[in-house]
Amino acid sequence: MRQIGLNEVEDIARGAALLGAGGGGDPYIGKLVTVGAIKECGPVTLLDPEEVPDDALIAPFAMMGAPTVLAEKSLSGEEYKALFDIMSNRFGKKIYATMPMEAGGLNSMLPIATAARLGLPMVDCDGMGRAFPELQMVTFTIGGISATPMGLADEKGNVVMMETITNKWTEDIGRAITMACGGSVSITLFPMTGKQMKEYGVKGIVTRSQKLGEAIRNVKNVTDKTPEEAFLEFTEGFKLFKGKICDVLRETRGAFNFGKVVVEGIGECKGSQAYVEFQNENLACYVNGEIVATTPDLICLVDTETFNPVPTDALKYGKRVMIVGLKCFPMWRIPEGIELVGPRYFGVDTDYIPIEERCKGGWK
């Protein structure tokens, strides 16, 4: 158990934006909301998963929709209480704690704001260890846990409680409601017991985000190696490419950001070209036409000077970036995980090959 205050928020947001693999929403918007909540309501207690009673009711909080929409259509502030009240009433039980459902700039921040506003603790755990575009894409689905009852609320005051027959149906129906509400909504989903959270959750994700964010902030203070070497070492990342963004194709469709970013090589990558395809999150990276990384491993773009992560909605012509691959949470590599979030689910015509196997020998 420890406290999350203003000093911790900045590092958590930066590190979670890296783990968001291009998605998870704008960390700047999330930071503003969270800083305001902590200033007004005080710091948040972060619980180790093992500190949560097995019979406790845990209610995760997130936003659903396209990241570009989230930057322009934020919360009213009433959504937290509305959603947690209907969830508590549905179970006839007080909610013990909240937690993030994914790691990402916005969706790592809003559960902290929720906890502050409602006076609840937050659990150091999530359901992805990264971000994915569809809400059934969590480790809890692999564990057979239902996404519903799920509550949805928009900034206008509309509140919906859903019950569905499968988690994919939850995604499809929830996505339709999200579109009707303007492309983004607040949600609480996958209500679970402490026991279920401990059995299937990705533990320590908030702490990992904070440590990554702190390391990125201090990367230029390292004296025994270059900042790039230090970054790759503490992230345990694989350098996939380095270059200048020369084209960005982006469209918002079905409350998702779809697109492709093209990067012309610089430095040791000069003369080569890479591109990354994304659906909110980065899905596949190609170098000179060859696949070098795919989901569920993380594909992240970072600024070549600051090493701050660059989400898909911040990709701009001329920006110099390094494309980095990170290993995913081990549960995603089992057959059930590959079926749920592997490359073929997203239309990428390849079997999943772990990034450490694809990148043997380093960048070529």
Which residue ranges form the domains of the chain, and what is each CATH number? 2-206 (3.40.1610.10), 226-358 (2.40.390.10)
pLDDT digits (tens, 9 = 90+) for 318-339: 999 999 999 999 999 999 999 9
Q: Look at residue 178 in the predicted model and tell me its pLDDT.
A: 92
3-state class of 298 per DSSP? strand
* Cis status, amide bond into 330, omega within 30 of 0: no
pLDDT digits (tens, 9 = 90+) for 183-234: 889 999 999 999 999 999 999 999 999 999 999 999 988 888 999 999 999 9
Q: Look at residue 111 in the predicted model and tell me its pLDDT.
A: 96
pLDDT tops 90 at residue 254: no
Query: With bands split at pLDDT 50, 70 and 90, how would you rate the model's confidence at 70?
Result: low
3-state class of 127 per DSSP? coil
pLDDT tops 70 at residue 125: yes
Token output for 63: 């936003």
The Cα–Cα gap between 355 and 208 comes to 20
Question: Is residue 136 a contact partner of residue 172, using CB atoms and an 8 Å limit?
Answer: no
User: What's the whole-number average pLDDT of the chain?
Assistant: 93
The Cα–Cα gap between 341 and 25 comes to 19
Token output for 255: 């409350």
Please give the average per-residue pLDDT across 22-51, as a whole number.
Answer: 91
Q: In sequence order, what E strands does the chain have?
A: 2-4, 44-47, 57-58, 62-65, 122-123, 125-126, 150-153, 159-162, 184-188, 192-193, 202-203, 238-253, 256-265, 273-279, 281-287, 290-294, 298-303, 320-326
Question: Is residue 298 a contact partner of residue 328, using CB atoms and an 8 Å limit?
Answer: yes
Q: Look at residue 291 in the predicted model and tell me its pLDDT.
A: 95
Can you give the pTM of this predicted structure? 0.92
Least confident of 47-51, 283-287, 310-314: 310-314
Please give the average per-residue pLDDT across 137-146, as a whole number.
Answer: 97
3-state class of 247 per DSSP? strand
